[in-house]
Structure 1
Amino acid sequence: MDVTNENPKTLLENWVNQFSDELYCWAFYKTSSKETAEDLVQETFLSAFHKIDTFQGKSQPKTWLFSILNNKVIDYYRKSAKTTKQTFSLTENSGFELSEGMFNTYGCWKSNDVKAIWDQEEELLDNPEFNEVMQECMEDLPQKWKLAVTSKYLSDKDTTDICQELEISSSNYWQIVHRSKLLLRKCLEIKWV
């Protein structure tokens, strides 16, 4: 498709008429907010107008517009996560708060309803963006907790050796690991789109 011969304003008007509804439906599906979806679609068309000279027609206009919209959605959630991040920090107290009420006095789960954190665990580990966010979350853990988790899961050290290095008991170690996992999950829920 050769767009160089068309007036950019006319071309964009045609695209707005053709694709607005579909873009809005997708943005609403992704954000569950009418106002946010409308804003994101408007930003998509504005961005498309400013970048229209880079559109070479190697893909369909609809595909190009959806690509822009998807980036706008990602940016929207990243901005939201930064705002939320300021109100949540990965501290030992946060770990205690997250785990409080999950165990009985014997240290056993109160409920057997312990669900997997992610259904697509293997796919996430192959995603470079996910791994970057995971690394950020790991770095935010309290130092001793980060050492416990990395020693166990990244260095594959024996629990006894880890406990000796950290000078903690075995039960304390397992509490730290569990609370670290809860903090990591919370961090990923906040930062990962």
Structure 2
Amino acid sequence: MDAIKVDSKLTVENWVNEYSDGLYSWAFYKTSSKETAEDLVQDTFLAAYNKIDSFKGNSQPKTWLFSILNNKIIDYYRLNAKTTKKTVSLSEDKGYEISEGFFDESENWKSTTINPIWNQDEELLDNPEFNIVLKHCMDDLPENWNFAINSKYLTNKKADEICQDLNITVSNYWQIIHRAKLLLKKCLELKWV
């Protein structure tokens, strides 16, 4: 093995030791799957090793690795979006079925009463128990719906970026966001109240 390859291998080994935990935490946060997060981090380090020559040191190694990881996460959701386009998953069907129950034949709300828990929404976000229930409800959403909600509300991504990440149209994106919010509301009202 030549000296450059040995240096590259040692550099990536050091990065693995230094940045694995942070990368894994981010991947797990974005995917909610231990196995997927582990695979994405492994793919990130493999890509870094294969492209180490392109790393010029203009940014910190951590920044470069997180950039690679974010691209891997986007690729993961794009691949899933393509496969779920062909066959809609049971959970998405169920999502549509449940959210259809909110409207009558004329597309008007069936019920206009507001649950009293929503009058205290500011305080709810400061409540750790509520946040645990919210996380469980979000985890129950179909995968692409969860990604869209997380991207829009937690990472403040723009709609066109999310559409590109999921490989969907803008109208499909807004429908997903709307239905995901309805399911979250129903889940929270059932599990929190």
TM-score by length of 2: 0.54
**SS in structure 2 at match of 1:10:** helix
Cα 1:18/1:189, change in 2 over 3 Å: farther
Aligned-pair CA distance for 1:132 = 9.4
Q: How many residues align?
A: 133
Q: Gaps (5+ residues) in structure 1?
A: 89-95, 139-180
- Map Cα deviations across residues 71-100 of structure 1 (whole Å, 9 max, x no partner): 000101111111111124xxxxxxx96874
C-alpha displacement of 1:133: 7.0
Counterpart of 2:70, as a letter, is: N
Gaps of at least 5 residues in structure 2 are 89-95, 115-147, 181-193
**Cα distance change, pair 57–106 in 1 and its aligned pair in 2 (3 A):** closer
CA distance in 1, matches of 2:75, 2:24: 16
Asked if structure 1 preserves the Cα contact closer than 8 Å seen for 2:41 and 2:69, the reply is yes
Amino acid at match of 2:80: S
Kindly tell me: are residues 7 and 21 of structure 1, through their superposed partners in 2, closer, same or farther at Cα, counting changes over 3 Å? same
Q: Which of the numbers 156, 163, 175 marks the counterpart of 1:130?
A: 163
- Report Cα offsets for 1:81-134 as digits up to 9, x if no partner: 11111124xxxxxxx9687433346763113379xx9776x9735x46637979
Give the superposition deviation at 1:25.
0.7
Equivalence for 1:108: 108
Corresponding position: 1:59 with 2:64: no
Matched, 1:19 2:19: yes
Shift of residue 182 of structure 1?
7.7
| Largest Rg, 1 or 2 | 1
Percent identical: 52
C-alpha contact (below 8 Å) 1:133/1:188 kept by paired residues: no
Distance 1:59 1:78, change over 3 A: same
Distance 1:11 1:32 in 2: 29
Letter paired with 1:137: T
* Contact preservation (8 Å) 2:12, 2:45: yes
Structure with the higher helix share, 1 or 2: 2
